[in-house]
Amino acid sequence: MRHLGIIMDGNGRWAVSRGQERLSGHAEGAKAVARAIEAALECRLECITFYAFSTENFKRGVQETLGIFSVLAGFLENTLLPLVKEKKLRVRFIGDLKRLTPELLETLSKVNVAGLNNTGMTVVIALAYGGREEIATAFNMLLERRLINLDASPITYDEISRYLYTAGLPEPDAVVRFGGYKRLSNFLPLQSAYSEFFFTEKLWPDFQKEDLYKICAEYQKIKRNFGDIPK
């Protein structure tokens, strides 16, 4: 496996089930991200993508949104940044980043700069991300270029993919969703067309490194033919 996508669901439910504020679940979820990065390094993945905050999550209201952004900023500053330096991680933030707060954007910039010349595993964090919006943005960018060049030839997927947030990254070999639901929720809808899907009832804050080991082991048993006849 080269690239694993993770839908981190269940932070709020985890906290509520323990009689805690929802934000404490997001704080525990951030700790789980660190464990997942360590496990991904041990499994020698090239790339791991975390679905951290969707465009739909803005519906949760200003208070919870700002609380999540605060947790994210703390995680990036105190946990991810040291890992980037120690493990030579590359980092990419994808999504409609202009919707983030200036304080969070400043932290993103700091992490980006720290990993600029690194050559290790790529950690992708999807923030203010929506797959449908990503596709529309990519198409509009491509269309603008074609209009300038008076190009009316048929558009191909390869062309569109060069304008996606994930351009240059391998498409996810597998996507795992925590939290009990079995849907993508607008996460990498184009890129995951040939991904293997794993679903678990476990809430994201309960993630342990062994969970990722098992996914990698299960993936190794799957023969992927991409529509061809098995040989």
Q: What is the DSSP letter of 163?
A: T
How far apart CA 78 and CA 34 sit, in angstroms, is 11
57: annotated active-site residue: yes
Residue type, 224: R
The residues with which 126 forms a beta bridge, in sequence order, are 51, 94
For residues 210 and 191, give the distance between their C-alpha atoms in angstroms, rounded to a whole number: 26
Q: Would you state the structure tokens that stand for residue 53, as one six-digit string?
A: 């905050």
Active site residue 211: no
Dihedral (CA of 53, 59, 60, 61) sign = positive
Which of 9, 11, 173, 211 is the catalytic position?
9
3-state secondary structure of 149: coil
Among the listed residues 11, 57, 78, 112, the single catalytic one is 57
Could you identify the residue written with the tokens 């954007």? Answer: 105
What is the set of active-site residues? Answer: 9, 57
